[in-house]
């Protein structure tokens, strides 16, 4: 009986982490990207981390009141996120590179998804765009 307790103490944190990642969109298989999750009071934040370099590639905010408003940003090109055609806008903030961009999608009538690419080079930016295009929303 007492041997089971240490095993449970090791397994329970892993189960919590798996459940947290279940709040994030579905990444394509073999993408080389994994989620880092943070829960807010009424929103979810999912950070896509490149598995080999451990660098942030992109992030996804899912909630009711994102801080990004496309109406005040400059369009920089078209793209696809989760199979939906989108308009990319210039990114704003303290640490913005020429390869950074953001967009806003409607998941349903109330829930919005703010997606941003935080790549600092063209290779990472293209990788982020490829993963985002194939990413899927959870049902």
Tell me the pLDDT of the chain averaged across its residues.
83
Q: What average pLDDT does this structure show over 131-135?
A: 96
Q: What is the pLDDT of residue 11?
A: 38
Residue 128, classed as helix, strand or coil, is: helix
Q: What is the pLDDT of residue 136?
A: 93
Q: Is the pLDDT of residue 16 over 50?
A: no
The rounded percent of the chain whose pLDDT value lies above 70 is: 81
Of 17-26, 31-40, 104-113, the poorest mean pLDDT is in 17-26
The rounded percent of the chain whose pLDDT value lies above 90 is: 58
CA 58 to chain centre: 5
Cα–Cα distance list, 52 to 56, 60, 75, 120 (Å) = 11, 20, 31, 16
Distance CA 95, CA 125 (A): 15
Residues in the chain: 139
pLDDT digits (tens, 9 = 90+) for 75-107: 999 999 999 999 999 887 655 667 889 999 988
- Output the pTM of the full model: 0.81
Q: What is the pLDDT of residue 96?
A: 62
| Cβ atoms within 10 Å of 32's Cβ, excluding its own | 14
Residue 71, classed as helix, strand or coil, is: helix
């Amino acid at each position: 009986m007492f041997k089971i307790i240490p095993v449970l103490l090791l397994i329970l944190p892993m189960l919590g982490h798996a459940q947290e990642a279940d709040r994030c969109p579905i990444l394509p298989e073999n993408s080389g990207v994994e989620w880092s999750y943070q829960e807010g009071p009424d929103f979810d934040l999912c950070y896509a981390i490149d598995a080999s370099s451990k660098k942030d590639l992109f992030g996804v905010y899912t909630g009711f009141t994102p801080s990004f408003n496309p109406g005040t940003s400059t369009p920089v090109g078209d793209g696809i996120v989760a199979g939906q055609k989108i308009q990319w806008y210039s990114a704003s903030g303290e640490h913005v590179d020429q390869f950074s961009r953001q967009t806003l999608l409607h998941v349903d009538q109330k829930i919005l998804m703010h997606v941003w690419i935080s790549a600092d080079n063209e290779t990472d930016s293209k990788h982020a765009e490829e993963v985002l295009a194939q990413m899927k929303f959870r049902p």
